[in-house]
Amino acid sequence: MLTLSIDIGGSGIKGMVLDTDAKPVNERLRIETPKDADPEAVFTVIGELIAEQPPFDRVSVGFPGIVESGVTRSAPNLDGDWTNIPLAARISDSTGKPCRAINDADMQGYGAIEGAGVEMVLTLGTGMGAAIFTNGHLCPNLELGHHPFEKGLTYEERVGDAARRDAGNKKWSRRVLRVIDQVLPVWNPRVLYIGGGNTKKLTVDLPAGVRRVDNIAGILGGVRLWDDEEH
């Protein structure tokens, strides 16, 4: 069973085919997210990406916003109206293969977790994503990034990519530590995983019980998504 795993991000759309053990069958392909990232523009890029892939049996998609039963409800870091877009159904129709679509932080979590106890994921990229799992099962669409954090601003406004560029990596990294300090005593995860493209920009040591994960987890999680029958 081969899975085409697609990660839709604010700056790039990535795809790779994986085997049943989440081992890559081909090189990861990345195409820039269109500047006007409305649904039709993004579907065009997804079509280009799919056309370059080897054969596959099913598709998993991570999307930067709320997704319910394969239908998008929001996309704060993409352009256009993403309300009620049947993302999974459209990709399934175009490929002739079954497709599941979930929030991108949720899919990255599937690529990182061990499946024991409460595990939490924070992703640092264009925005800030969050996911939480209990014994390997996902509680979907935890949009923690849009919750108030400090100085009247949300988590995403303080540690998203725009904030990092404005503050510089050292100051931004200290903010990330404050995010961690805020999150841990509220959610009490056994492990907190820090992922996303900006993880490599961190200049601080992470506390005990907090682990960095490679950004490729956002692709690898596409296989485990099919193992969790609740989704």
DSSP 195: E
**Do 54 and 140 share a domain, yes or no?**
no
**Do 46 and 118 share a domain, yes or no?**
no
pLDDT tens sequence across 74-85: 998 899 999 999
pLDDT tens sequence across 129-156: 999 999 999 999 999 999 999 999 999 9
The Cβ-side half-sphere exposure at 200, using a 13 Å CA radius, reads: 4
* Structural domain containing residue 14: 3-107+218-227
d(CA 168, CA 225): 35
**Do 103 and 117 share a domain, yes or no?**
no
**Do 12 and 94 share a domain, yes or no?**
yes
**Do 7 and 103 share a domain, yes or no?**
yes
Count of domains for the chain: 2
Does the structure show a pLDDT above 60 at 193?
A: yes
**229 pLDDT tier (thresholds 50, 70, 90):** low
- pLDDT at position 71 is 97
**Do 130 and 60 share a domain, yes or no?**
no
pTM for the model stands at: 0.92
**67 pLDDT tier (thresholds 50, 70, 90):** very high
**Do 101 and 135 share a domain, yes or no?**
no
* Segment 151-155 long-range contacts (CB within 8 Å, at least 24 positions apart): 155/128, 155/179
The Cβ-side half-sphere exposure at 99, using a 13 Å CA radius, reads: 24
How many other β-carbons are positioned within 10 Å of the β-carbon of residue 17?
22
CA angle centred on 182, ends 181 and 185, rounded to 5°: 85
User: Rounded mean pLDDT of the chain?
Assistant: 95
**Do 223 and 146 share a domain, yes or no?**
no
**Do 100 and 66 share a domain, yes or no?**
yes
